A and B are shown apart, each in its own frame.
Chain A
């Protein structure tokens, strides 16, 4: 009965590879997010989707491509992985529009290590 789930939990891969991280929420929320947390614990938003529509697209390399097949899923595909992509990636969701007044519910995170 996990609210926001991510797979995989750990991802170790070589530079140059392409990988995907999946996220699903069963809360019925309309908005989903991807965040990146670096080694210094700084958490920065990457993307947000509202009902499958891209709302926020921060200054993220275009090697990162989010895809939302339906409002319960938001996947993150990363092409040509670089060392600097190593981080923990969190998915989150919230009610209603991409409004900052809404509480966000976070997944457990995916620790990506690029060798």
Chain B
């Protein structure tokens, strides 16, 4: 399976702290994407990192990619209560479809 696996499954932090989520995958990829899903809502794209990139930033988000270890991390700095959501990584595995992991459920306590 090309499925990405997020780690941890659940993460609870205090507002203002940083949150780090990891994603591991099994096959070579062209790119890796991170999505956020608020409770009861659809997924929202956060960031895409290509296989030839090592790090990417978007606002308070920082994504790293290590293709040698087949892993990626998503760092959310200075977290806010509104960041409470599930976060999914999605990989292509060189195919024409995205394969999503099971997600990390992040809770940011005010």
Q: Interface of A with B (CB < 8 Å)? A: 4, 40-45, 48, 55-56, 90, 92, 97-101, 103-109
Contacts and interface: CB of A to CB of B under 8 A. Distances in A.
B102 A100 contact: no
A104 B42 CA distance: 11
Q: How large is the interface on B (under 10, 10 to 19, 20 to 34, 35 or more residues)?
A: 20 to 34
Chain A interface helix/strand/loop/mixed: loop
Contacts, number: 58
11 contacts: A42-B100, A43-B100, A98-B97, A100-B92, A100-B95, A100-B98, A101-B31, A101-B92, A103-B48, A104-B45, A109-B40
B45 A105 contact: yes
Contact of A107 (B33, B42, B86, B103): B42
A48 B86 CA distance: 24
Given A98-B96, A104-B98, A41 B42 contact: no
B30 interface: yes
Contact of A41 (B44, B96, B99, B103): B103
Chain B interface helix/strand/loop/mixed: strand
Question: Which residue among A43, A100, A108 has the maximum number of chain B CB atoms within 10 Å of its CB?
Answer: A100
Contacts of A44: 100
Contact of A108 (B41, B48, B88, B97): B41
B81 interface: no
Given A40-B102, A43-B88, A100 B97 contact: yes
Contacts of A107: 42
B42 to A, nearest CB: 3
Contacts of B41: 108-109
Contacts of B35: 106
Question: Which residue among B44, B86, B95, B97 has the maximum number of chain A CB atoms within 10 Å of its CB?
Answer: B97
